[in-house]
Amino acid sequence: MDIFLQQLINGIVLGSIYSLVALGYTLVYGIMGLINFAHGDIVMVGAMVTLTVARLLSDSGLPGPLVLGIGMLAAIPACMAVGYLIERIAYRPLRNAPRLAPLITAIGVSILLQNLAMMIWGREYLSFPQILPTQTMAVGGASISAIQILIVASSTIMMAGLSSLIRKTRLGNAMRATAQNPEVATLMGVNINAIVSITFVLGSALAAVAGMMVSAYYGIAHYDMGFILGLKAFTAAVLGGIGNIEGAMLGGLLLGIIESMGAGYLGTLTGGVMGSNYQDVFAFFVLILVLIFRPSGLLGERVGERP
Amino acid sequence: MKKYLKLAAYAALLLLLPFATGLALGKTWVRILDFALLYVMLALGLNIVVGFAGLLDLGYVAFFAVGAYCYALLASPHFGLHLPFWMILPIGAFAAGIFGMLLGAPTLRLRGDYLAIVTLGFGEIIRIFLNNLDTPYNITGGPQGVDLIDPIRLGPFSLNQPPGHAVYSYYFLFLLFALATAFVSMRLQHSRIGRAWAAIREDEIAAEAMGIDTRNVKLLAFAMGASFGGLSGGLFAGFEGFVSPESFTLTESIMILSMVVLGGMGHIRGVIFGALLLSILPEALRYVGPLEQSLFGKIVVDPSSLRMLLFGLSLILVMLLRPAGLWPSPARKRELLAHGDTAKHENTGVYDAGR
């Protein structure tokens, strides 16, 4: 029971991070029908910037959460700028190109970001300074740490904020209109280029926060950390129904729970044959299963080749 | 007559190239030529998937790995099996094709983007499995891989003979396979299937309306590309005598994709050109390290990351500036540069041609 509760908590924490990243995929996909392969690497940039700031300030005597906050304030604009530039340089010129073209530039951007990061921050694993209190709270036999609470709370707030932004504001209205039919939206006075840019920038801001969480939670950052993370978050977005905001949140949480349950029980279930070194494989099988049985995802509409 | 003379000149060039290279630059460069031919095969295989059928495969190296491990496991002391290469190569190609089918079946009826991301994942997953399948039964040898793989043998003649000159014999074997791959690709392109692929690439709905079973034809392209990868993998394992998961990273997949994109998707000569360019040119980057050392007194930019950086850049720049590649086929050039009405008509969505 203790293991179950503990893995559930870990899963929810992991899931909140996946949700934030998945939202970035889903936002961009919903509006443009494009998978932004470089999104995982934007998360990496966020993690690296936060880590750099935290390292600089770790000896300054400022309280830990404040340092983390400053790191985040540095990471968000940095990621927004990266997201904006990617859209401007790599995607916008290809809007009327065949579909293969933006996919290929997307993977090119991802490679470019990874290698630039490797040049700036090196190829070693960078450790995150220990700035948050490490004591844990016991809840029914399981333990929760401060950072875990922080992650779940802040991602919930961000998701709620995003939801109301999209449902209730003029901007959200314009975004939804663009998603439905860009041409008609233009006729209604929506500036499509601006909306697309804003979408990218919003997704990148979420990615920055996710990057801060990942690096602080695992205490580590690496130039290619965005790859597997992006893959999993994409899986989460597909699981929930890509293009669907609530779907991304649900899919992220579910995937996080599936993964940590799997990692916790796989060893005992298979008699020690498969261990937690297979953790990264789960997301992939979930993705394949979803694509076979319910390609539209849990909350999504039908996604065919041409709906 | 002139045609035959030209052909004879090409043949003489290809036959003499390794010896000239060996004399002028040393055996290291002959080895680079061997690898270049291997990459030509891989690029042509991926070209069937990406260039002909327009399906983006980002984990192509996984099929290469399947072929290589097939060869390694069936012709090494690891399991004590020593099958001859003419048996293993088809097995490897077949196994890779099966993997391709398994991967393509759930994804190919969906939008192309799903295939891209699933293949991307598969490329990583297969590496995780290769790395971990040494317990509880030692199947893949784990991170250490499999070594002491038998060389390719033609009857009593091993290609590792005469000792120290293996690079030359493998050059001719690889040349034979590369030419065969190019020939098969050419025949495929203008066959009924090849035309079906082109139709699907251009407009899937129209293709379906013309009576093409799009799903099966796409699956065929995917499986066929995969089996070419498996075949090259077998040759690679026999040549190297050693395989480990380290050889099958995402980097390799991206490199092969860059070759296809840079050379010109769907254009066989362009793809061969791209493969040769990208497998030989980066070797020149090995001189960048010492150059930086002498210019700045230290290594400023790691040459290997510089190589990847250039690949990433080339993918972006080619797509933006020359979407049909450096050496486009005349027909493809027309299609890709079709501005105006056709392009507009096909693209009602902001990005997505498929809406």
Note the ipTM here: 0.82
pLDDT over 60 at B346, yes or no: no
- Which tokens in the block code for residue B157? 């003649």
Checking if the pLDDT of B131 tops 50, the result is: yes
Distance to chain B for A272, nearest Cα, Å = 9
pLDDT interval class at A238 (50, 70, 90) = confident
The mean pLDDT of chain A is 85
Is 90 exceeded by the pLDDT of residue A273? no
Hey, which residues 37-66 in chain A have their CB within 8 Å of chain B? 37
**pLDDT over threshold 90, residue A44:** yes
Q: How close is the nearest chain A Cα to the Cα of B274, in Å?
A: 16
Is the pLDDT at B35 greater than 70? The verdict is yes
Q: What's phi and psi for B284, nearest 5 deg? A: -65, -25
Task: Give A300→chain B minimum CA distance, Å.
Answer: 14
Q: What is the pLDDT of chain B when averaged over all its residues?
A: 82
| Choice among A9-18, A202-211, B123-132 with the minimum mean pLDDT | B123-132
Alpha carbon of residue B163 to chain centroid: 29
Contacts for A58 with CB less than 8 Å, ≥ 6 apart: A67, A129, A131
Percentage helix, strand, coil for chain A under 3-state DSSP, each rounded to 5? 75, 5, 20
**What residues of chain A, 175 to 204, have a C-beta less than 8 Å from chain B?**
178, 182-183, 192, 196
Which candidate, A243, A283, A256, places its Cα nearest to that of A36? A243
- Is the pLDDT assigned to residue A76 strictly greater than 90? yes
Q: How far apart are CA B355 and CA B291, in angstroms?
A: 51
Euclidean distance between CA atoms B257 and B245, whole angstroms: 19
Contacts of A114 in chain B (CB under 8 A): 308, 312
Amino acid at B90: P
State pTM to two decimals. Answer: 0.83
pLDDT of B328 strictly over 70: yes
Q: Quick check: bond before B303 cis, omega within 30?
A: no
In angstroms, the CA B136 to CA B142 distance is: 11
Structure confidence by residue, pLDDT tens digits, B58-95: 889 999 999 999 999 888 887 878 888 888 899 999 99
Other residues' Cβ atoms within 10 Å of the Cβ of residue B136? 11
Residue of A21, A85, A107, A121 to mutate when probing chain B, most B C-beta within 10 A: A107
A227 touches chain B (CB under 8 A): yes
CB proximity list for A45: less than 8 A, separation 6 or greater: A75, A78, A79, A82, A113, A117, A207, A208, A211, A226
pLDDT confidence of residue A1: 55
- The Cα of A205 is separated from the nearest Cα of chain B by a number of Å equal to 22
Angle, in degrees to the nearest 10, between helices A279-293 and B85-107:
60
- Residue A300: partners with Cβ closer than 8 Å, 6 or more residues away: A240, A241, A242, A243, A244, A247
- The CA distance from A285 to the nearest CA of chain B, in Å, is 10
Q: Which residues of A are less than 8 Å from B136 in CB distance?
A: 272-273
How many Å is the Cα radius of gyration of chain B?
A: 21
Structure tokens at B242: 């050693």
pLDDT reading at A160 higher than 50:
yes
Contact B132 A278 (CB under 8 A): yes
Kindly calculate the radius of gyration of chain A based on its CA atoms and give it in whole angstroms. Answer: 19
Over 70: is that where the pLDDT of B355 sits? no
Task: Give the residue among B353, B61, B52 at the shortest CA–CA distance from B200.
Answer: B52
Which residue segments constitute the domains of chain B, with CATH numbers given?
A: 2-249 (1.10.3470)
Of A93, A98, A273, the CB nearest to B353: A98
A271: which 2 tokens? Answer: 């008699």
> Minimal Cα distance from B309: which residue of A?
A112
Contact indicator for B95, B30 with CB cutoff of 8 Å: no
